Structure formats: C-alpha cells, structure tokens
Amino acid sequence: MDTYELVTRNAAEVVTEEEVRALADDPDGKRAYVGYEPSGVLHLGHLLTANKLIDLQDAGLDVVVLLADVHAYLNGKGTFEEIRETADQMKEQFLAYGLDEESTEFVLGSEYQLDEDYVLDQHELELETSLNRAQRAMAEIQSGETAKVSHVVYPLMQALDIEYLDVDLAIGGMDQRKVHMLAREELPSLGYRKPPALHTPIVGDLSTGEGKMSSSEGVTLSMEDATEDIEEKVNSAFCPPERDPEGEKVNPVLELFQYHVFPRFEEVVVERPDEYGGDLVYEDYDDLADDLESGELHPADAKGALATYLDELIAPGRKRLREIRGE
Ligand code: NAL
C-alpha cells in the first residue's frame, strides 16, 4: 500500500486530496492531530480515530493527541478537576491500545488555552465569526440540550488549536467537519494557515445500524467491557445478510470489520467446524463482505470471529484500566 493510500484508507472525506497528497509525499516531521474531550473510558468511537492515528504513524507522521479539558468543561462534562483526572486515564488507554509512544505527543488544552496570546486570538475569532456559523459548527458535537454561550466558543477554540499546536493535518470524525471547515475559512483572516483535514466515518449503533455510536446513546463497546460483554453485544448486533435496499441502514457488523478489525490484523480467520465448510481466511474486507452477502458466510459465524478480534483489541486497554483503578 503506498503512503497516500495508507493515510487516506477508510476515510469518509479528505480535504483536499491535493493537500493531503503533498503531506503523504513528504511525511517526515509532519504532525497530525486529533482532540478528545477527556473521559474515563475509551469506546469504539475513540478507537476509530485512533486507528487512523496508527495508520499515520505507520506512514511516518508524528501524532498530537489533544486532551481537550477546557472543551469538555465548556461542553458541561463536569468540574474542571473531575475532567483533569480522567485525562491521564485516557492517555494510558490510548498507549495500551497501540499508539506509538515515541511519536505521540499528548497535550492538555489548558496548558496553552489560558495564555494571553491564545485568549486574544480567540476573541478575534469571536469577532470574525457569526453566531449562526459557530452554532452550525457545533450542531453535531453538542448533544441536544439548550445551547449555551460556551457552545459557540467551543468550535472557535477547536479551530484555533490547529494553529497553536502547529499541526499540518487535522483528524476527526465526520461530526467534526464543520469545525474544520470553519478553521479553513477563518484562520487565514488571522494570518494563519488553512489546515488540511481528514475525516473518519461515524459507525452506526450496534443494535440498529442507525445513528452514531457513542457512550451516551445506543450500544457501543468500551475498554470496560469484559469478554462476555463483547460477545453478548456483538451477538445481538444488527446484521442483515443483504444490504439495505434503500441504503439507509448500515450493517454494524461489517462496519466493525472494516474500520476496526482489518486495519489492525493481517488476516481474519472465521473458525467453522469441518461439517460447515471449515475455517474461512480473509485478507481483505471486501471478500468477507461479499461472502456475507452471498450467504457463504453465516452472520453467526461472522459475529463469533468479530467478537474474538474486538476482544483482542480491547484486552490491553482493559487490563491497563484495571491496573489504574487498583482492581
Ligand atoms: C476535539 C475535541 C475538542 C477540542 C478539540 C480541539 C482541537 C482539536 C480537536 C478537538 C473533541 C471533539 C468531539 N469536538 O466532539 O469529540
């Protein structure tokens, strides 16, 4: 796989292909970043962007992980102290998951977001941006309840962070795209660069295949899940043998294979007794998806293999979390 392919595989959107190609052609010393509101436990949504960070490290880029404590505070996630405490746990789980320690820099937002230079730039962005624009940028991030003034400050700070962390590529789920578009439009008016961005897909809820999978709504998997929890959730996951004719519902079992399993394993073995045709071995996601659709691969067998691989991915973080908690 060439570097550009590795950098962009499984991306839902690349902004722009030309800019990202230039980075892939010369990755040495280039920095990509992603930000997370600190939370005590990582779930599959975090791991999907983490897989992209691992791709980028394999491609030779350095990675910056922003533990966005001030953003979590602005988004009503708890007291500043509570949020701070979870940031370190989050870092430990990312490292256990497989981010390369040498080429990953973890930064707390509050390390620079309260400095005078930053705050004055933030206020300039506030002056440059309409309320409507900032609200639209935040619409997919904020989860529902009445918008507060903090919710329009949030996307402006997220945009400004791209400049302050001196990064060459912004990574995020598709729910972050409007913040990145705002950054591309507004940062140049402060004399800063227009940042390239790469967006990962949002994986549907495990039980229905609809909406976004997150810890707050629907069924997801997290670093807290025991092997049996993973088996149970995967076994009850929505997995229609045919693709939805209207194309509306996605198949979460296939999505998990595509975005979580195949990027991290050379091959996927689906174990089957000899009387059902024996083991199936896949090196490629499309072959597995084709077999599921044709009936060659039964959903129950696919789910069994999926649970095994997901458990293997989650195991090191689960162990680390238990150590941290003294369990
Ligand atoms: C991501 C988040 C918060 C702050 C950031 C700052 C810089 C870069 C990325 C950032 C979290 C993200 C979310 N908005 O919805 O999870």
Q: Kindly give the distance from the C-alpha atom of residue 17 to the centroid of ligand 1, in angstroms, as a whole number.
A: 22
**Of the ranges 11-15, 214-218, 253-257, which one carries the lowest mean pLDDT score?**
214-218
Identify which of 25, 150, 40, 154 has the alpha carbon closest to the alpha carbon of residue 87. Answer: 40
Contact 236, 307 (CB under 8 A): no
Using a 6 Å cutoff on CB, does residue 202 contact ligand 1? no
Question: Stretch 103-118: mean pLDDT, rounded?
Answer: 97
Strand order in the sheet with 197-200: 13-15, 197-200, 169-173, 31-36, 62-67, 104-108
Q: Kindly give the distance from the C-alpha atom of residue 35 to the centroid of ligand 1, in angstroms, as a whole number.
A: 4
Question: Stretch 236-253: mean pLDDT, rounded?
Answer: 79
Q: Using omega within 30 degrees of 0 as the cis cutoff, is the peptide bond preceding 16 cis? A: yes
Instruction: Say whether pLDDT at 51 is over 90.
Output: yes
Binding site as annotated, residues: 33, 154, 158, 161, 176, 215
Binding site as annotated, residues for L-tyrosine: 33, 154, 158, 161, 176
**Which residue has the CA at smallest separation from atom 15 of ligand 1?**
141
The residues with which 31 forms a beta bridge, in sequence order, are: 62
pLDDT digits (tens, 9 = 90+) for 8-39: 999 999 999 999 999 999 999 999 999 999 99
**Which residue has the CA at smallest separation from atom 7 of ligand 1?**
158
Using a 6 Å cutoff on CB, does residue 66 contact ligand 1? yes
Query: Residue 121: which H helix or E strand, with range?
Result: helix 116-128
Using a 6 Å cutoff on CB, does residue 178 contact ligand 1? no
pLDDT digits (tens, 9 = 90+) for 144-177: 777 899 999 999 999 999 999 999 999 999 999 9
User: What is the amino acid identity at position 95?
Assistant: L
Binding site as annotated, residues for ATP: 215
CA 17, CA 21: separation in Å to the nearest integer? 6
CA 142, CA 46: separation in Å to the nearest integer? 16
Q: Which atom of ligand 1 is nearest to the CA of 165?
A: 7
User: What is the amino acid identity at position 104?
Assistant: T
Using a 6 Å cutoff on CB, does residue 49 contact ligand 1? no
> With left for phi above 0 and alpha for psi between -120 and 50, is residue 37 left, alpha or beta?
beta
Question: Stretch 38-63: mean pLDDT, rounded?
Answer: 96
Using a 6 Å cutoff on CB, does residue 113 contact ligand 1? no
Q: Kindly give the distance from the C-alpha atom of residue 287 to the centroid of ligand 1, in angstroms, as a whole number.
A: 35
What count of residues does the chain have?
327
Instruction: Supply the pTM of this predicted model.
Output: 0.94
Q: How confident is the model at residue 240 (pLDDT cuts 50, 70, 90)?
A: confident
Q: What is the pLDDT of residue 315?
A: 98
User: What is the amino acid identity at position 169?
Assistant: L
Q: Which atom of ligand 1 is nearest to the CA of 179?
A: 14
Q: What is the pLDDT of residue 230?
A: 97
Using a 6 Å cutoff on CB, does residue 37 contact ligand 1? yes
- Comparing 215 with 56, the larger pLDDT belongs to 56
Q: Kindly give the distance from the C-alpha atom of residue 67 to the centroid of ligand 1, in angstroms, as a whole number.
A: 8
**Of the ranges 78-92, 201-215, 230-244, 306-320, which one carries the lowest mean pLDDT score?**
201-215
Instruction: Say whether pLDDT at 268 is over 90.
Output: yes
Identify which of 155, 167, 223 has the alpha carbon closest to the alpha carbon of residue 194. Answer: 167
Q: How confident is the model at residue 210 (pLDDT cuts 50, 70, 90)?
A: low
Q: Kindly give the distance from the C-alpha atom of residue 171 to the centroid of ligand 1, in angstroms, as a whole number.
A: 10
Using a 6 Å cutoff on CB, does residue 257 contact ligand 1? no
Query: Residue 34: which H helix or E strand, with range?
Result: strand 31-36
Query: Crossing angle, helix 149-164 and helix 116-128, to 10 degrees?
Result: 120
Contact 288, 268 (CB under 8 A): yes
Using a 6 Å cutoff on CB, does residue 69 contact ligand 1? no
**Which residue has the CA at smallest separation from atom 11 of ligand 1?**
36
CA 307, CA 255: separation in Å to the nearest integer? 13
Q: What is the pLDDT of residue 215?
A: 46
Using a 6 Å cutoff on CB, does residue 35 contact ligand 1? yes
Mean pLDDT across the chain: 93
Contact 36, 104 (CB under 8 A): no
Mapped onto helix, strand or coil, the DSSP state of residue 302 is helix
Query: Residue 200: which H helix or E strand, with range?
Result: strand 197-200
The residues with which 282 forms a beta bridge, in sequence order, are: 268
Instruction: Say whether pLDDT at 143 is over 90.
Output: no
Tokens found for residue 7: 């950098």
Cα 325 to chain centroid, rounded: 24
Q: Kindly report the number of other CB atoms within 10 A of residue 211's CB atom.
A: 11
Q: Kindly give the distance from the C-alpha atom of residue 206 to the centroid of ligand 1, in angstroms, as a whole number.
A: 24
